[in-house]
């Protein structure tokens, strides 16, 4: 018998028609834990692109992210897999926001990639990080304002007719996505949207 990955309560198997047809993966967390996440449906035109977010950043989500990203509990990648797969249009080319190699080494896995892999969503890495992560907070802020955060990956080609969707875990200020959209646009992409799992409140 499986246990909920968050509270360790025993999971009772629920057989929906979707799970019988193999469309949905088995639940990894219990319904009580699932109920603590707040599903939202935000699709906002930010000025640089449409950004959609699936969940709000509440206490449950904060704990989930901590366990997934910082305690490196890779099994948690699957918690929102069904929801994300249902949401993303099949015809879109999915482009994850990349991690800096230094950060990737520290975290051991790219959490956004792991979510997509678990959900069987094909994706392509078109972007790579520029600069280093290990700069101080102040210089990092200054750098955010000026220098590009990403560049097009070597040997990547952009299809002007493709529909690109950038994927990131959390939308906060929009700086990351804005930079990523700019790089793809300059490389010739015409239609770009973004989807994040979580929408954080703007820090004013
Ligand atoms: Zn639970």
What is the 35 CA–ligand 1 centroid distance (Å)? 9
Phi–psi pair at 49, nearest 5 degrees: -170, 175
How much is the average pLDDT of 79-84?
92
Q: pLDDT per residue over 115-171, tens digit each?
A: 999 999 999 999 999 976 555 555 666 655 668 899 999 999 999 999 999 999 999
Q: Average pLDDT, whole number, for the chain?
A: 88
User: In this model, does residue 33 exceed pLDDT 70?
Assistant: yes
CA dihedral 176, 179, 181, 186 (to 10 degrees): -160
What is the 26 CA–ligand 1 centroid distance (Å)? 14
What's the CA gap between 11 and 3, in Å, rounded?
5
How much is the average pLDDT of 54-58?
96
Give residue 142's pLDDT. Answer: 64
Give residue 144's pLDDT. Answer: 56
Give residue 47's pLDDT. Answer: 87
What is the 57 CA–ligand 1 centroid distance (Å)? 18
Helix/strand/coil for 156 = coil
What is the 11 CA–ligand 1 centroid distance (Å)? 8
What is the 167 CA–ligand 1 centroid distance (Å)? 26
What is the 129 CA–ligand 1 centroid distance (Å)? 36
User: In this model, does residue 204 exceed pLDDT 50?
Assistant: no
Count CB atoms within 10 A of the CB of residue 15.
8
At which residue do the structure tokens 């094909």 appear?
Answer: 122
Closest Cα to residue 97, out of 37, 170, 167, 3?
167
- pTM for the predicted model, two decimal places: 0.88
Measured CA to CA in angstroms, residue 9 lies from 38, 59, 184 at distances of: 20, 19, 44
Dihedral of CA 100/41/13/66: which sign? positive
pLDDT-above-70 percentage for the chain? 85
What is the 96 CA–ligand 1 centroid distance (Å)? 28
Closest Cα to residue 40, out of 7, 4, 80?
80
What is the 12 CA–ligand 1 centroid distance (Å)? 11
What is the 3 CA–ligand 1 centroid distance (Å)? 8
What is the 173 CA–ligand 1 centroid distance (Å)? 31
What is the 76 CA–ligand 1 centroid distance (Å)? 12
CB-based contact 181:49 (threshold 8 Å): yes
């Amino acid at each position: 018998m499986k246990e909920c990955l968050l509270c360790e309560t025993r999971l009772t198997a629920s057989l929906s028609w979707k799970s019988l047809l193999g469309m949905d993966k088995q639940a990894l967390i219990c319904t009580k834990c699932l109920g603590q996440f707040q599903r939202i449906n935000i699709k906002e035109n930010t000025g640089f692109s449409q950004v959609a977010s699936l969940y709000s950043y509440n206490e449950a989500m904060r704990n989930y992210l901590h366990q997934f990203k910082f305690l490196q509990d890779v099994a948690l990648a699957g918690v929102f897999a069904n929801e994300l797969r249902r949401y993303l249009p099949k015809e879109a080319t999915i482009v994850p926001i990349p991690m800096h190699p230094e950060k990737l080494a520290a975290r051991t896995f790219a959490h956004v990639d792991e979510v997509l892999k678990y959900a069987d969503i094909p994706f392509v890495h078109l972007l790579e990080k520029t600069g280093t992560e290990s700069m101080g907070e102040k210089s990092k802020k200054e750098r955010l304002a000026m220098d590009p955060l990403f560049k097009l990956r070597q040997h990547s080609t952009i299809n002007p007719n493709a529909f690109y969707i950038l994927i990131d875990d959390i939308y906060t200020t929009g700086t990351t996505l804005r930079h990523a959209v700019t790089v793809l646009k300059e490389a010739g992409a015409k239609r770009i949207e973004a989807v994040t799992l979580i929408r954080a409140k703007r820090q004013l």
